[in-house]
Structure 1
């Protein structure tokens, strides 16, 4: 009788416990990087689990860098794509790793921002799928959006910014060609940011007649009154 009770209890507990590492676990490094023309760049993907991973890889350009929410456009809809990632599909066995190559198609005049999405997909019929080409129906899991800064050549990089007083508030504008970072940004209207990125070609407007921020370790107040 005791043996029967023990076995029943054992099987009940076994059913309730989730299997350890039953699914593939994806690690991607680095989470952000700079890419230059005519240089080799890559992102490393690794399967940390004990089940196969089937990865789909795509690139999107961020059209409003530094602003939330991001507006992103797939490469097929960009007039002049600046970035390629290859391969676009990967199969990783347990413990396997592989590099995703990132190629700059030209040297930009000003910094551009891209997201490289590496997303695990679950095939319904993976046994029939070749290793380098997944053709079976897929369901998508949570993946990574690697941040890629497409940079001008170092010798041509310039850092500069200005502000303008407008009827809508204080307008910050990047007049250089690379990203600038500001911290402790406080607008007169009460809006606060611990930090912000200001990209060339994407000015940012802060309502109110004044704006305080820290730049290059200096505290500044921009007064439009």
Structure 2
């Protein structure tokens, strides 16, 4: 009986970790001129909410390394817009984020959309200095086909 009480006491002292697990349905897709509306589908398969920053960037040199990207706010006339900057996805929830086409560009443009977790790993009853901070990002690559390439 004392052993059982000791084991239960030890279990109570063990830190419990809850984590959200993000899943992105399509990581690469193509938007055709006059095509159907698109959406990015994200799901939380974990047991804790995910607090995400949504970052949209235009790729200036597709196919080259290193990639040169420009934040959406620094693009003079963006042809695509992801309307969210922050997102909360609860456990078991799936969210569809619309990809709004502002106009069809004359030439193909390439965009990256990244979902970055806003919280660091943490635990209860443990010194926070012992944790490693991870910055995990999940990305989507979008090819927006221009009007001059639609017949190709």
Question: What is the TM-score of this pair, normalised by structure 2?
Answer: 0.76
Partner of 2:106: 109
Question: Does the Cα contact within 8 Å between 1:26 and 1:45 map onto a contact in 2?
Answer: yes
Q: In the TM superposition, what is the alpha-carbon distance from 1:90 to its structure 2 partner?
A: 1.7
Q: In the TM superposition, what is the alpha-carbon distance from 1:24 to its structure 2 partner?
A: 0.9
What is the CA RMSD across the aligned residues, in angstroms? 2.9
Q: Which of 127, 143, 147 does residue 149 from structure 1 map onto?
A: 143
Q: In the TM superposition, what is the alpha-carbon distance from 1:5 to its structure 2 partner?
A: 9.3
Partner of 1:61: 58
1:105-142 alpha-carbon deviations (Å, 9 max, x no partner):
2212221111011112129xxxxxxxxxxxxxxx9831
Does residue 119 (structure 1) correspond to residue 113 (structure 2)? The answer is no
Partner of 1:32: 28
User: What is the rounded CA distance, in whole Å, between the counterparts of 1:155 and 1:73 in structure 2?
Assistant: 23
User: What is the rounded CA distance, in whole Å, between the counterparts of 1:117 and 1:91 in structure 2?
Assistant: 14
For this pair of structures, how many residues does the alignment match? 138
Partner of 1:43: 40
Partner of 2:97: 100
Query: What is the SS of the residue equivalent to 1:122?
Result: coil
- Greater fraction strand: 1
The higher-RCO structure (CA 8 Å, 6+ apart) is 2
Question: Does the Cα contact within 8 Å between 2:32 and 2:150 map onto a contact in 1?
Answer: no
User: What is the rounded CA distance, in whole Å, between the counterparts of 2:102 and 2:134 in structure 1?
Assistant: 29
Q: In the TM superposition, what is the alpha-carbon distance from 1:23 to its structure 2 partner?
A: 1.1
